Amino acid sequence: MHDDRTAFLAGERHDDVLLYFNEADVDGLDRLAEVGERVESGVVLVIDGTEGRNAFQRATGVDPMSLPNMAERVEDGIARDCTDGTCPDTDDADDPHRVKFLFAFAEAQNEDVGDIYAEGDVIHAYAVCTCGTVYSERWVAEAA
């Protein structure tokens, strides 16, 4: 795993966002791979939050700030490396299900808020499936 993604997933890059694009669903992936990390099914970028939100919207046509309102929260739905997920609507066998793209950010530990935020830095991840379902998950970051 690339150092940028490792640091992000450890909760060490609160000002950055993580973007994942599946190679089957996004044009211009070679250009993104030049600045990101090539993974088996696509490209991962860890970049400045503002730049990342703009890049995500340009590449997908989706405003990442709208994802929390659109998402269905699931448990164990998104891979901890942020390159895959399990759509909660997989019961429809006629539709292929894979993560088209994913947007994630890290939030610093906040004991005043309680819940998992008291346990450590929290990763928030939002996945968009090929079937159109948007789902999310959050978890406590693990130290690198």
To which residue do tokens 């990763």 refer?
123
pLDDT digits (tens, 9 = 90+) for 2-26: 899 999 999 999 999 999 999 988 8
Q: How far is CA 82 from CA 18, 77, 99, 128, 141, in A?
A: 8, 10, 10, 12, 12
The answer to whether the CB of 102 falls within 8 A of the CB of 77 is: no
For residue range 76-120, list pLDDT tens digits in order.
Answer: 799 999 999 999 987 766 667 899 999 999 999 999 998 999 999
Residue type, 51: E
Predicted local distance difference test score (pLDDT) of residue 93? 61
Q: What is the pLDDT of residues 31-87, one digit of tens each?
A: 888 889 999 999 999 999 999 999 899 888 999 999 999 998 888 799 999 999 999
Phi and psi torsions of 47, nearest 5°: -140, 170
Report the pLDDT value the prediction gives residue 96, as an integer from 0 to 100: 76
Give pTM, 2 decimals.
0.91
Give one word for 120, left, alpha or beta, with left for phi > 0 and alpha for psi -120 to 50. Answer: left
- For the chain, what are the domain ranges? 3-140
